[in-house]
Amino acid sequence: MKEKQRSLRIQNMHIPSHIVMITWVLIVLFPLWVLVINSFKSRLTIYTNPFWIPKTWNFNNYKEVFSDGNFLVYFNNSLIVVIISLIISLFIAALASYALASWKGKYSRLLFLFFIAGMMLPIKIASIRLLEIVRFLGLLNTIWSLIPIYVAMGIPIGVFILTEFIRQIPAELTEAAIIDGSGRMNIFFTITLPLIRPALSTVAIYNLIPFWNDLWFPLIFINKEESKTLLLGVTRLFGQYQTDWSKVLAVLTLSAIPVLVLYLLMSKQFIKSVTAGAVKG
């Protein structure tokens, strides 16, 4: 009897937290709901009832988006830029974090704070100088002009997260590898990288969203149609006097798919990194 009462008390204690979680889920899903259902409506029916399922599903928005050859070009450009930027930023951040975690000198902390300063200073304040550098390098109006910018944006958060993870790796593992004759780079690739995969997934997800959703730098650096990214291409649908919001929402729905796919693929690793250190056995 006492055990039943205890279990009931425990269940009652979880009710408020469940209510908060359900409320938060509804708040988060509401914009996605509005985005998706309105992408299947015509331009005029959006204004009649924008929050409910359409009476007739209109798939012409997606057909017209795919029939426009530029959409696939924009999508391909964004995909190339984001994937290359993520790979480079993750690799550089992992190497820098490995060096900072292994370096026990008095200047290591100062150098670590130097990297963290990149999280505090918005890179957009240097847009004019960056534009001059991109023009000097001959990268203007190309998708390659965005990759160095995104790499610079992604390294600080990567160093901040990965350094702490690498410091939690038991020193006995690296010492045993050194005794076996392994070099620093061999230890990095065979021991450190496999152990920090959850942290790498976290950094990838954190960086993916600002990389994919960035409109500022493509708007400044790119004018050619064949080099535009997806969100920059969406601006073509905004007219001076009227906007076809159904097509805009269809493009935005399609643009959200890569982010959701990457999160689903890395969700287990992401959860591991978030809960790392929460329970010690």
Q: Name the DSSP class of 238.
A: B
Q: Do residues 135 and 249 share a domain?
A: yes
* Domain match, 133 and 266 both: yes
> Is 55 contained in some domain?
no
d(CA 116, CA 127): 20
Instruction: Assess whether pLDDT exceeds 50 at residue 262.
Output: yes
In a domain, 56, yes or no: no
Domains identified in the chain, total number: 2
258 & 131 share domain: yes
How wide is the angle at C-alpha 257 spanned by C-alphas 256 and 258, nearest 5°? 95
Cα distance between residue 158 and residue 93, in whole Å: 5
Q: H or E segment at 113?
A: helix 108-120
The helix (H) or strand (E) run that includes residue 259 is helix 245-275
pLDDT of amino acid 199: 87
Asked if residue 207 and residue 88 are part of one domain, the reply reads yes
Does 169 lie in the same domain as 74? yes
Q: Do residues 226 and 89 both lie within one domain? A: yes
Residues paired with residue 238 on neighbouring β-strands, in sequence order:
243
Q: Which residues of 106-124 are buried (b: 16+ CB within 10 A; e: fewer)?
A: eeeeeebeebeebeeeeee
In the structure encoding, which two tokens stand for residue 155, read together?
């390294």
Residue 43 lies in a domain: no
The pLDDT, as a whole number, for residue 109 is 78
Q: Phi/psi class of residue 275: alpha, beta or left (left: φ > 0; alpha: ψ in -120 to 50)?
A: alpha
DSSP secondary structure letters along 194-207: HHTHHHHHHHHHHH
What average pLDDT does the chain have?
Answer: 81
pLDDT at 150: 94
Interval 146-194: pLDDT, tens: 999 999 999 999 998 898 888 888 888 887 888 877 788 888 888 888 8
Query: 57 to each of 45, 54, 230, 232, 273, how far by Cα in Å?
Result: 11, 6, 25, 27, 41
Cβ-based neighbours of 42, under 8 Å, separated by 6 or more: 58, 246
Q: What is the DSSP letter of 243?
A: B
CATH assignment at residue 106: 1.10.3720.10
3-state secondary structure (DSSP) of residue 239? coil
Domain that includes residue 25, residue range: 2-38
Dihedral (CA of 177, 178, 180, 181) sign: positive
* 52-61, 92-101, 208-217: the lowest-pLDDT one: 52-61
Q: Based on the fold, state whether residues 115 and 247 are members of the same structural domain.
A: yes
Does residue 263 share a domain with residue 208? yes
Write down the pLDDT at residue 281: 39
Evaluate whether residue 80 is within a structural domain.
yes
Assess whether 83 and 27 both reside in one domain. Answer: no
